[in-house]
Amino acid sequence: MFKFFLFSVFFVFQLKAQTLVTELKGRVENVQGLPIPFVSVALLNTSLVTLSNEEGSFQFSNLPAATYTLVIQALSYRSKQQIIKLPHPKEISIRLQLIENDLNEVVVTGTMKEMSKDDSPVNIDIITPKLFQKTATPNLFEATSLVNGVKPQINCNVCNTGDIHINGMEGPYTLILIDGMPIVSGLSTVYGLMGIPAGMIERLEIAKGPAAALYGSEAMGGTINLITKRPSLAPKLSLDYYSTSYRENNLDFSTKLKLGKKADYLFGSNIYFYDQPLDKNKDGFTDVTLQKRLSLFQKIAFKRKDNRAFDLAGRYVYEDRWGGEMNWDKRFRGGDSVYGESIYARRFEFLSKYQWPLKEKIYTQLSYNFHDQNSYYGKVPFMAKQSTAFAQTYMTKQVNANHDLLAGLAFKNLWFDDNTLITQSSDGRSNKPENTNTLAMFLQDEIRLDSADKHKLLLGTRLDYNSVYKFIPSPRIAYKWSPQYRFIMRLNAGTGFRIVNVFTEDHAALTGAREVVFMDKIKPEKSYNGSLNVVYKMKMNRSSLIIWDATVFYYYFSNKIYANYDLDPNKVIYANLKGYAYSRGFSLNASLAGTGNFKFSLGATYVNVQNISLDSSGKKTASWQLQSPMWSGNIILSYHFPIPAIKLDVTGNWYGPQRLPILPLDYRPQYSPWFCLLNIQVSKTIKDKVDCYVGIKNLLNFMPKDPIMRPHDPFDKKVTDPVNNPNGFTFDPSYNYAPIQGIRAYVGIRITLD
């Protein structure tokens, strides 16, 4: 009887243990111990899943006592699994490590300091290698089109050089930086984002709006900062090769080595080869410029006991490109029998960053580049050389919990020489290279207005002294309000300035089709601008968000540097606009982010860029900015099939009508049609190391009509022909609004060894 009683008690306790219910509480944090909101937390082999709240906390209730495996997934963080046995006496803490992906959180461009993208008072768009690998791009010039409001613009239908427009403003308004240094400017702008090895790139940061207070002139419309990889974090070997049905071939290669215990070394190269003339539109000219390009990049990161930065980097670029009549070869270079535009360019770059071994965080940056160009546009030679030297020292210091200061001094020397009237002496008898110096000092205070970090104010000012234009101030103010994790509002205002550089103003002015004319001495152009940005993260389900990003902007320009195509069909006339100009508009972007297999990013931008001329009586005449579509947008769709490890990517851009440079009585429309450039790619991953991909570019096979005026008479030998040319049309290759490449297929392979 007693044995039966013991057995009964034992059975009851066992049954109770098996049916015991409990709860599980936890908190998800980053490595600094800060909470991570909206994290997906699931119990493996069950249907239970939840999302952490804004404080990073989560809870499961009514769980049977047992051993469980937690699966934790969050945007921008490494997924994690953790075994937990219930009942558990206290709340568990789970820490996740940040990784690089399409929603990289760390930015530096807005404030010159590394910080979370959400914490930055300046809105920054990010392009990572994972993003621009969604389609085969031979250079980063094309990759920038993946950002809403950014338009890579080809300016010449023969030589295919171009610039980057941000919010409808021309290329000279965009400053291109490498690791925060203005190493790409002036003569080399059109080559700045071409030939940069993909293996050296950590990310591109694009700030749409002025940044003159930190970076000086040329940063009036926007800033593109190319951040190179740290050698210690780069893969051991990276190789990416693809070829297209146009017979374009592109190879990116990079590798890293350890130089003993003192340094890490990163080497990267890019080779682009296209040597197959094609004329799909049957105008007798090459549709795409033939190119042979070699780019070599090296970076050394020295290891210091105090972990302070000391980096040295260098790049060499050689390019041979030509476009023109299909039967052109180098025998005709510079002649007037067969038309061709041939460009040889050599470029050297050097960069360095050093953190001083002091208590304060003090950095010195040095850069130097030399660009040598030997080119002919038909029979017109353009021989030019440019060097840019830059030095900057700045200090960051957190004065107290509420003030974070940045102060610095910068110096820039620009030397430029060519064979045109631009560098002739005033009497025209001798050559006089441009040699300008700019000394600047800047100060910035990032102010936390409350302990919860919901209100942040950024005050900054810069004073430049240019050897030609003397003192030029550039103040700015930024305010960020974030009452909760899901809502961010940013308000920015400031001023900017820029000076003229004809080669970057309008490359078509040097093609030989039009003569360059300066009306008066060009004064510096000034701008006053403001923008309002709102970001809202809308919760869709337990594991995904839609991120809405809307911006309204307005720019006002005085002394606008204006290239007039309308007064004379044979001239480009440069002058300061007698009046004013403005650019105003808005953009809206929606992105689906989460742990699911489907992601998208859709964007639209409206921009109205007008030049307002005033005559002596005060009458206003408005003209729409050339090659600036009022409506534009981008498309990025991705779906990952997990079982066969196949990924489908659809990317593209659409553009509304834009005003084009036409000749008097031109038979071509003054405004381009609506059009869309759509791409599709399928990629297969093998053992997380090899990606094989195939795709189609320009899926809709869109090509512009009549891009070159009178291609049969490029040297204007038969202009005065009243029968065949009664309107006196001349050769002009500047009627451009889209690439002249039709539909084309490509296949490639990408290998990454960590």
Give residue 639's pLDDT: 92
What are the structure tokens assigned to 278, written together?
């094609």
**What band does 2 get if pLDDT is binned at 50, 70 and 90?**
very low
What are the structure tokens assigned to 496, written together?
């900017």
Give residue 76's pLDDT: 62
Amino acid at 484: Q
**Residue spans in the chain of domains classed CATH 2.170.130.10:** 106-226
**What band does 437 get if pLDDT is binned at 50, 70 and 90?**
very high
If 0-12 CB within 10 Å is exposed, 13-18 middle and 19+ buried, where does residue 741 land?
Answer: buried
Would the pLDDT of 291 be above 90? Answer: yes
- What mean pLDDT comes out for the span 529-548? 86
**Residue spans in the chain of domains classed CATH 2.40.170.20:** 227-753
Q: Which of 125-134, 220-229, 442-451, 516-525 has the lowest mean pLDDT?
A: 516-525
Class of domain 227-753 (CATH, top level): mainly beta
| Order of strands, sheet of 92-96, starting from the edge strand that comes earlier in the sequence | 57-64, 21-30, 92-96
14-96 placed in CATH 2.40.50.100: no
For residue range 63-72, list pLDDT tens digits in order.
Answer: 888 888 888 8
Give residue 101's pLDDT: 40
The third-level CATH classification (topology) of the domain covering 106-226 is Ferric Hydroxamate Uptake Protein; Chain A, domain 1 (2.170.130)
For residue range 231-270, list pLDDT tens digits in order.
Answer: 888 889 999 999 999 999 999 999 999 888 889 999 999 9
Per-residue CA distances from 370 to 188, 316, 386 (Å): 9, 10, 6
If 0-12 CB within 10 Å is exposed, 13-18 middle and 19+ buried, where does residue 358 land?
Answer: exposed
Would the pLDDT of 11 be above 50? Answer: no
Question: E strands along 629-674, which residues?
Answer: 631-641, 646-655
Would the pLDDT of 104 be above 70? Answer: no
Would the pLDDT of 292 be above 90? Answer: yes
Identify the bridge partners of residue 302 per DSSP, sorted by sequence position: 263
% of the chain beyond a pLDDT of 90: 35
CA–CA dist 732, 712 (Å, integer) = 11
% of the chain beyond a pLDDT of 70: 86
Would the pLDDT of 202 be above 80? Answer: yes
Give residue 570's pLDDT: 67
For residue range 313-349, list pLDDT tens digits in order.
Answer: 999 999 999 999 999 999 999 999 999 999 999 999 9
Would the pLDDT of 203 be above 70? Answer: yes
Give residue 585's pLDDT: 94
**What band does 18 get if pLDDT is binned at 50, 70 and 90?**
very low
Q: Mark 193-208 as b/e (b = at least 16 C-beta within 10 Å).
A: bbbbbbbbbbbbbbbb
Start-to-end CA distance of the chain, whole Å, equals 69
Nearest alpha carbon to residue 652 among 693, 615, 593, 697: 697
Nearest alpha carbon to residue 710 among 154, 339, 333: 339
What does the mean pLDDT of the chain come to?
A: 83
Amino acid at 485: Y
Give residue 105's pLDDT: 57
**What band does 508 get if pLDDT is binned at 50, 70 and 90?**
very low
For residue range 263-286, list pLDDT tens digits in order.
Answer: 999 999 999 999 999 999 899 999
DSSP string over 492-527: EEEEEEE---HHHH-GGGGSSSSEEEE-SPPPPEEE
| 18 phi, psi to nearest 5 deg | -75, -25
Would the pLDDT of 157 be above 90? Answer: no
**Residue spans in the chain of domains classed CATH 2.60.40.1120:** 14-96
Would the pLDDT of 186 be above 80? Answer: no
DSSP for residue 248: -
CA–CA dist 703, 323 (Å, integer) = 17
Give residue 655's pLDDT: 95
Nearest alpha carbon to residue 151 among 644, 675, 524: 675
Q: Strands 310-324, 340-355: parallel, antiparallel or unpaired by DSSP?
A: antiparallel
For residue range 583-626, list pLDDT tens digits in order.
Answer: 999 999 999 877 678 989 999 999 999 988 888 787 888 888 88
DSSP for residue 214: H
Q: Which has the higher per-residue pLDDT, 596 or 12?
A: 596
Give residue 663's pLDDT: 82
- What mean pLDDT comes out for the span 163-179? 82
**What band does 146 get if pLDDT is binned at 50, 70 and 90?**
confident
Give residue 577's pLDDT: 80
Would the pLDDT of 515 be above 50? Answer: yes
For residue range 547-570, list pLDDT tens digits in order.
Answer: 999 999 999 988 877 766 666 766
Query: Whole-prediction pTM value?
Result: 0.81
